[in-house]
Amino acid sequence: MDSSTVPPLRKYLFTFLRIAIGWHFLYEGIAKIFTPNWSSASYLLNSSGPLGSIFRAMAENQFVVYLVDYANIFGLIIIGFALFIGIYSRIAAIAGAALLFLFYISNPPFTVNPIGYGVEGHYLIVNKNLLELITLVVLAALPKTWFYSLENIWQSKPEANITNVAEVPRKENHYLNPKAIDRRNLIKNLISIPLLGGFVYSVARNCGWGSHEEKHLRNQVNGTDGYSGATVKAVRQLDISELKKPISSGMIKGRELGRLICGGNLISGFAHSRDLIYVSNFLKNYFTTEKVIDTFKLCEASGINTTAIGAKKMEMSILQKYWKQGGKIQWLAPVYPEEKDYKSIIDLATDNGAMGVMLIGNLGDKWAREGKFDLINNVVEYAKSKGVIAGVAGHELVTFQGLEENRIEADFYMKTLHDTSYWSWRDNEPKEKMIIDNYAVDNYWASKPQETVDFMESLSKPWIAFKVLAAGAFHPKQGFKFVFENGADFACVGMFDFQVVEDANILNEILDDGQFMRKRNWMA
């Protein structure tokens, strides 16, 4: 089948298939340029399959990683651009297939991948790299005339000497050289040009290159910014090089903890997201194993040396993997013990590297309400016998008042604290419900903040505050300042990787500010 017999619809389909793959390659390359500290090292380190040892050895050589990074970035950009606009498309398709083959064999899906942190689903033998590789091989095998492309323009120029055209006035000469390109075909072969403009616009928007005209127009509409509201915008991710200094730390029973602790709800895929039912699923998809590890790396570099993620199989496997890579982050494990067998979960946490254990807040409140302080004491004392620090968490002030009355010798307390000046706090709503009974409403986590501050001021026990941002309703500048000025020794905060450096800088600014006024002495 020559080009003249190829149905137009088929030519359009092949062309758009080539353009789509070109867009994917091109954007992947450009996105890596704008991703701070992007490196192929983690991908190489986690290589498996028959060539896994070779790729892992490459990751151990910094110069080799440097070369691989640049080869990846510029290889993707060059291949993508060529496929997108249609120049040297056969060479580009073969090169793209070769690059995808390297991606495929570095992490071949020869076994079923684990459930829980997969971003794109589950693969066995066939994954997206293999599918795109096969597609590029097919495109490379097709004749160039089966596509609309720029290379078809210069290959279709009229020959210098035309012998089959009668020497008559041009307007009467209707027999044109079959290799001459007409205006209609010229437009068809330039089909990718308007799409290239769309690509540039998309990259600009995703990389934060705003339109001054758009901003001006928004400001003219009654002074209203269409982006304002309850949702906080992340304007730009701070690079680790922009960290002013690591955060300060405190001591609990000989253990040094950064004043900020990396919370576990976001990483574990749980958030107090009210009626936004898609958020938990988004978190599970965002926080892949590698993303969690990257977050831990940023935390450690920022002085946030402790995380409070749950004692569950997936979370523990990520910690073990991170520690094997040389990470040192400490694990303060919230535990959810059973009444008849409170030891097993503590054993599980401490045997897998936890340096501290705390009774999770829901159980702390529940058992305190039921008067089971002997059970709480058993949890605390058994954790201490395992050689780790032991604490109790809770949302309610009466929980900690009960702990003190019953002389529970916990090493630390973990209590909710936040201001009430946030958008979803309802002054006129009764607060007689305990927090654990209020999840259906889900709009307050510290119903008596001032009473909490006053009570904690009377204690000499280290205190970790949590829910300090009211589940994202407060900016860290306000939330951190409130809890540390009002007596908390530490703050446990859920953080995305792109928030870690900014959070550390904010805390340093607050604590170093000459106007910082703390009532309670540091107890850690």
Of 45-49, 96-100, 163-167, the poorest mean pLDDT is in 163-167
- Residue 196: CB atoms within 10 A of its CB come to 17
Q: Are 434 and 464 in contact (CB under 8 A)?
A: no
Helices (H), 370-423: 373-385, 397-405
Question: If we measure between CA atoms, which residue out of 145, 133, 137 comes closest to residue 15?
Answer: 145
Q: Which residue has the higher pLDDT, 209 or 440?
A: 440
List pLDDT tens digits, range 236-255: 566 788 899 999 999 999 99
Question: What's the mean pLDDT in 371-391?
Answer: 96
* SS3 state of residue 413: strand
CATH superfamily membership of 257-512: Aldolase class I (3.20.20.70)
Question: What's the mean pLDDT in 186-199?
Answer: 57
Q: What does residue 308 show for φ and ψ, rounded to 5 degrees? A: -120, 65
Show the tokens assigned to 278: 């898609």
Is residue 16 predicted with pLDDT exceeding 90?
A: no
List pLDDT tens digits, range 407-442: 999 999 999 998 888 766 776 666 667 777 676 665
Residue 188 exposure: Cα atoms within 13 Å on the Cβ side: 17
Q: What is the pTM of this model?
A: 0.57
Question: If we measure between CA atoms, which residue out of 516, 518, 517, 387 comes closest to residue 463?
Answer: 518
- Which range of 137-141, 173-177, 349-353 scores highest in mean pLDDT? It is 349-353
Q: Give the confidence band of 491 by pLDDT, cuts at 50, 70, 90.
A: very high
Q: Which residue has the higher pLDDT, 437 or 469?
A: 469
Question: What's the mean pLDDT in 450-479?
Answer: 90
What pLDDT was estimated at residue 510? 94
Q: Is 357 exposed, middle or buried (0-12, 13-18, 19+ CB in 10 A)?
A: buried
Ranges of CATH 3.20.20.70 domains, the chain: 257-512
User: How much is the mean pLDDT over the chain?
Assistant: 79
Question: If we measure between CA atoms, which residue out of 112, 36, 127, 41 comes closest to residue 325?
Answer: 41
- In the numeric block, the tokens 């039912």 are attached to 277
Is residue 158 predicted with pLDDT exceeding 60?
A: no
Q: Give the confidence band of 127 by pLDDT, cuts at 50, 70, 90.
A: confident
Question: What's the mean pLDDT in 342-346?
Answer: 93
* SS3 state of residue 210: coil
Q: Is 417 exposed, middle or buried (0-12, 13-18, 19+ CB in 10 A)?
A: buried
What pLDDT was estimated at residue 351? 94
